[in-house]
């Protein structure tokens, strides 16, 4: 999304283009029509003060008592309050697009996590709409007992769908009428205190006849969940960074005071038995029961309409990013309205209405909202602890607020319904795993990379402070590969994958000769191909006409890094005798290993099924020590190739004295045992001259030899011709250990 990131970007009409979602589709910021009051505060307040307040809060007071109910309210509001604070903090740090919580999560953790949470949030909003329609029906039946419940439900459902289909703006403008209905209802309820002959003595703790504390909490919690309504309409707000924090927190505080006041009102106007047995106490104990019923009808209609407006917006955002099937259908707008998404949502609401139980819907909505809130709190906690420069919200929060919010949400999920909570979590994980396979293209930077950078930085500091270096047990092959042409790297592709999988890496050092970039064109694609094959690879272009100088400079620079290469991998075909010797000297000075790769021009790497590992004569010291005398790196490379090729290994040794044959055989058997080599090996120890033994050596796809301190290129090429296969000539750095 390309927009200006300054104050005028939210006040000056301009165009924004989402190149990754709908190329060419342009929307004007001037069309964002809602401010703080009508876009955030009123929708949030009116959604919170809905069906639960009128039809279930008194029932909760009857079961839990005044003290228990206030504790339930405070628990719910602590959870939604921390979430409201976290949302507000996150919003002040990002450019929020359409989709509200989906946009928040996606911009932080990527489309995969955003999609898994966004789908849950969408379902919660959809089923919440059905819940509010049921509340409307119960209030309507209070006024008109003879009316058929199913007809009332279908009637109000049809009106909500039509209004939502016509215009989101129309739905928002209806809030003014609803607001007067809510004020009228509250006035009638508190006015009823004037007509009561005497007030009831509140029961501080109830008997919880119809369920435990957490069941009461689950039924009440949807009353407090709509703190995110304003953020969900973020795509229609003029100044989301300002409006969402201010409007959300103001609505949270306002509704908390109203709920506590109403809990006290219920406790003093009726006995616990009356509250449990009569769900319409709010109207019966008011100064004008019709006024309260009007308020209930208005609130339920508005809350249901709001959910039916919010849900399609979320689905439309999910469709835009190909997160849900038929994304093109759900993601399109008709006249700035997500009508395709609305029609599908309306069908889901109709299915949910068949559940026939307000309490069942409330329980499901509670778990979905809690999971969404858990994710939002966790995102802020992660971003705070990463301490990245990019995280600088205008509303910073102490770390314990999102920590408490995450813990409280997850605890509430598992306490309310361990089974359904676990099912919901597993469904979210399943959605995430599925979306991971789709290769979604997230059109913004996320904190995914920051998480891993933070982990790496922490680990690096621990290593440096404790030992100053990476020990042998943490060894993995990290190659430095000098090349002059991109095609060389392509030729090494299969070999690199076999040598480095699963944890190794390669740093490609590409030499730029005489500023001629043509031989290196396509290098980035070759690096990308290695990534796709599971090999971590990086590339740097070094402008140098002298191989040895460039190599020495590169090794010196990288030697100061924690993830420095530990093997210089050189193809001897491209290097002169002097360059190979200089490579060896550079490696010894920097304490890195060396692999000289000599390719047989005809066999190359053959079938990649057999290996020969040549162990030099150890006479007369055929015993083990921590220093295997230039055997560690050859053994480790042989193990890598045996594992990744699924190859068979022949361990060959030629000794100069016949009396050492038994001890040499025992040494090699012990060596294979203590180095934990796969059992697919054979030992072949012979006495006599080396060259005849070399000529009759068993055929292999690759031979691995040790390397002396002095390089003789002609001799290396001669060995390749004698064994009729490609060869590795290897020199340890002294930092490896095949015994580790």
pLDDT digits (tens, 9 = 90+) for 78-119: 888 898 888 888 877 766 555 566 777 776 667 777 788 788
Residues 320 and 381 in one domain: yes
Tokens linked to 637: 């490379």
pLDDT digits (tens, 9 = 90+) for 25-84: 333 333 446 677 777 787 778 777 766 787 788 899 999 999 999 999 999 898 888 988
pLDDT tier at 466 (50, 70, 90 boundaries)? low
Omega of the bond prior to 349 within 30 degrees of 0, cis? no
pLDDT tier at 730 (50, 70, 90 boundaries)? very high
pLDDT digits (tens, 9 = 90+) for 203-212: 889 888 888 8
Residues 424 and 492 in one domain: no
Question: Which of 594, 628, 651 marks a domain boundary?
Answer: 594
Residues 585 and 620 in one domain: no
Question: Has residue 29 been placed in a domain?
Answer: no
Higher pLDDT, 345 or 230: 345
pLDDT digits (tens, 9 = 90+) for 205-263: 988 888 888 888 888 877 777 676 656 555 567 777 777 888 888 989 998 999 999 99
Q: Which pLDDT score is estimated for 99?
A: 53
Number of domains in the chain: 3
pLDDT tier at 5 (50, 70, 90 boundaries)? very low
Residues 520 and 632 in one domain: no
Highest-pLDDT range among 4-8, 338-342, 405-409, 494-498: 494-498
Question: Has residue 257 been placed in a domain?
Answer: yes
Q: Distance between CA atoms of 192 and 185, rounded to whole angstroms?
A: 11
Q: Which pLDDT score is estimated for 327?
A: 76
Residues 576 and 685 in one domain: no
Residues 406 and 263 in one domain: yes
Question: Has residue 629 been placed in a domain?
Answer: yes
Long-range (24+ apart) CB contacts under 8 A made by 30-35 are: 31/336, 32/235, 32/236, 32/237, 32/238, 33/169, 33/236, 33/238, 34/172, 34/233, 34/236, 34/237, 34/238, 34/243, 35/237, 35/238, 35/239, 35/243
Asked if residue 320 has pLDDT above 50, the reply is: yes
Residues 586 and 513 in one domain: yes
pLDDT digits (tens, 9 = 90+) for 115-137: 887 888 888 888 888 888 887 88
Highest-pLDDT range among 152-156, 335-339, 699-703: 699-703
* This prediction's pTM: 0.60
Residues 585 and 614 in one domain: no
The backbone torsions φ and ψ at residue 439, rounded to the nearest 5 degrees and listed phi first, read 65, 50
Contacts for 16 with CB less than 8 Å, ≥ 6 apart: 1, 2, 3, 26, 27, 29
Question: Has residue 27 been placed in a domain?
Answer: no
Q: Which pLDDT score is estimated for 469?
A: 55
Domain region containing 565:
469-594
Asked if residue 311 has pLDDT above 70, the reply is: yes
Which whole number is the average pLDDT over 180-199?
Answer: 84
Q: Which of 22-36, 483-497, 562-576, 690-704 has the lowest mean pLDDT?
A: 22-36
CATH code (residue 86): 1.20.1740.10
Q: Which pLDDT score is estimated for 30?
A: 38
Residues 302 and 249 in one domain: yes
Q: Which pLDDT score is estimated for 560?
A: 65
Asked if residue 178 has pLDDT above 60, the reply is: yes
Q: Which pLDDT score is estimated for 61?
A: 93
pLDDT digits (tens, 9 = 90+) for 656-713: 888 888 888 888 888 888 888 988 999 999 888 888 889 889 999 999 999 988 999 9
Output the DSSP codes for 135-147: HHHHHHHHH-TTS
Residue 153 CA to its chain's centroid (Å) = 40
Question: Has residue 25 been placed in a domain?
Answer: no
CATH code (residue 490): 3.40.50.620
Let me know how long the chain is: 740
Average predicted confidence (pLDDT) for the chain: 80
| 708, 576 Cβ separation under 8 angstroms | no
Question: Has residue 694 been placed in a domain?
Answer: yes
Q: Distance between CA atoms of 415 and 218, rounded to whole angstroms?
A: 10
Q: Which of 72-86, 292-306, 522-536, 607-621 has the lowest mean pLDDT?
A: 292-306
Question: Which of 411, 436, 461 marks a domain boundary?
Answer: 436
Residues 411 and 475 in one domain: no
Element (H, E) at 610: strand 610-614
pLDDT digits (tens, 9 = 90+) for 27-43: 333 344 667 777 778 77
Query: If we measure between CA atoms, which residue out of 164, 38, 103, 132 comes closest to residue 372?
Result: 103
pLDDT tier at 185 (50, 70, 90 boundaries)? confident
Q: Which pLDDT score is estimated for 176?
A: 67
Q: Which of 172-186, 190-204, 567-581, 680-694 has the lowest mean pLDDT?
A: 172-186
Q: Which pLDDT score is estimated for 16?
A: 32
pLDDT digits (tens, 9 = 90+) for 260-306: 999 999 999 998 998 888 877 888 888 888 888 888 888 788 778 87
| 76, 217 Cβ separation under 8 angstroms | yes
- 10 Å CB burial of residue 601 (0-12, 13-18, 19+) is exposed
| 291, 134 Cβ separation under 8 angstroms | no
Q: Which pLDDT score is estimated for 124?
A: 81
Q: Which pLDDT score is estimated for 172?
A: 63
Contacts for 553 with CB less than 8 Å, ≥ 6 apart: 542, 544
Residues 395 and 544 in one domain: no
Q: Distance between CA atoms of 570 and 579, rounded to whole angstroms?
A: 10
Residues 383 and 506 in one domain: no
Question: Has residue 24 been placed in a domain?
Answer: no
Question: Has residue 250 been placed in a domain?
Answer: yes
Question: Which of 594, 622, 649 marks a domain boundary?
Answer: 594
């Amino acid at each position: 999304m390309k927009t200006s990131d300054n104050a005028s970007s939210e006040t000056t009409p301009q165009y924004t283009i989402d190149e990754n979602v709908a190329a060419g589709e342009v929307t004007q910021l001037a069309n964002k029509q809602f401010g703080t009051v009508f876009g955030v505060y009123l929708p949030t307040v009116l959604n919170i003060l809905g069906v639960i307040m009128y039809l279930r809060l008194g029932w909760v007071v009857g079961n839990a008592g005044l003290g228990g109910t206030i504790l339930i309210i405070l628990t719910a509001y602590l959870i939604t309050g921390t979430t409201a604070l976290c949302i507000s903090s996150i919003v002040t740090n990002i450019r929020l697009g359409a989709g509200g919580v989906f946009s928040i999560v996606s911009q932080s953790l990527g489309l995969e996590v955003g999609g898994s949470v966004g789908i849950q949030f969408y379902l919660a909003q959809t089923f919440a709409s059905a819940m509010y329609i049921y509340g409307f029906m119960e209030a309507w039946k209070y006024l008109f007992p003879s009316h058929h419940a199913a007809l009332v439900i279908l009637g109000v459902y049809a009106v909500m769908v039509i209004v939502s289909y016509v215009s989101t703006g129309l739905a928002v403008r209806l809030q003014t009428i609803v607001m007067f209905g809510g004020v009228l209802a509250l006035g009638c309820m508190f006015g009823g205190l004037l007509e009561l002959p005497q007030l009831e003595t509140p029961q501080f703790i109830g008997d919880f006849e119809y369920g435990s504390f957490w069941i009461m909490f689950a039924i009440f919690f949807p009353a407090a969940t709509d703190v995110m309504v304003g953020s969900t309409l973020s795509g229609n707000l003029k100044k989301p960074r300002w409006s969402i924090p201010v409007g959300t927190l103001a609505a949270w505080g306002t509704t908390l005071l109203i709920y506590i006041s109403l809990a006290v009102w219920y406790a003093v106007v009726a006995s616990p038995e009356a509250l449990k047995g009569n769900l319409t106490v709010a109207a019966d104990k008011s100064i004008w029961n019709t006024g309260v019923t009007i308020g209930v009808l208005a609130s339920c209609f508005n809350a249901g309409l709001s959910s039916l407006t919010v849900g399609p917006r979320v689905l439309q955002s999910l469709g835009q990013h190909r997160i849900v099937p038929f994304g093109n259908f759900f993601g399109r707008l008709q006249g700035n309205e997500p009508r395709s998404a609305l029609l599908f949502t309306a069908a889901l609401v109709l299915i949910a209405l068949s559940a026939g139980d307000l309490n069942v819907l409330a329980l499901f909505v509670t778990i979905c909202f809690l999971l969404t809130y858990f994710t939002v709190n966790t995102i802020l906690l992660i971003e705070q602890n990463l301490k990245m420069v990019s995280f600088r919200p205008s509303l910073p929060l102490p770390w314990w607020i999102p920590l408490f919010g995450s813990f409280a949400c997850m605890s509430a999920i598992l306490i309310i319904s361990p089974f359904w909570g676990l099912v919901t979590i597993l469904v979210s994980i399943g959605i995430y795993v599925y979306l991971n396979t789709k290769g979604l293209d997230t059109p913004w930077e996320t904190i995914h990379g920051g998480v891993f950078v933070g982990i790496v930085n922490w680990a690096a500091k621990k290593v440096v402070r404790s030992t100053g270096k990476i020990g042998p047990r943490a060894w993995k092959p990290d190659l430095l590969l000098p090349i002059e042409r991109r095609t060389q790297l392509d030729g090494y592709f299969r070999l690199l994958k076999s040598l480095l999988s699963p944890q190794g890496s390669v740093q490609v050092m590409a030499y730029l000769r005489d500023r001629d970039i043509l031989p290196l064109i396509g290098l980035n694609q070759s690096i990308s191909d290695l990534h796709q094959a599971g090999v971590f690879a990086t590339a740097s272009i070094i402008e140098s006409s002298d191989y040895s100088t460039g190599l020495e400079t590169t090794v010196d620079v990288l030697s100061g890094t924690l993830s420095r290469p530990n093997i210089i991998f050189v193809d001897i075909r491209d290097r002169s005798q002097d360059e190979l010797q200089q490579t060896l000297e550079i490696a010894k000075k920097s304490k890195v290993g060396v692999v000289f790769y000599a390719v047989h021009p005809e066999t190359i790497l053959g079938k990649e099924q057999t290996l020969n590992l040549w162990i030099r004569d150890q006479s007369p010291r055929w015993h083990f020590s921590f220093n295997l005398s230039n055997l560690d790196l050859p053994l480790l490379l042989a193990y890598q190739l045996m594992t990744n090729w699924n190859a068979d290994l022949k361990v060959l040794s030629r000794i100069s004295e016949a009396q050492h044959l038994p001890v040499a055989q025992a040494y090699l058997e012990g060596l294979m045992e203590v180095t934990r080599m796969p059992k697919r090996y054979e030992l072949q120890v012979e006495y006599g001259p080396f060259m005849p033994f070399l000529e009759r050596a068993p055929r292999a796809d690759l031979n691995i030899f040790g390397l002396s301190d002095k390089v003789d290129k002609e001799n290396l090429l001669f060995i390749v011709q004698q064994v009729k296969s490609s060869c590795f000539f290897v020199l340890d750095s002294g930092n490896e250990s095949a015994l580790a």
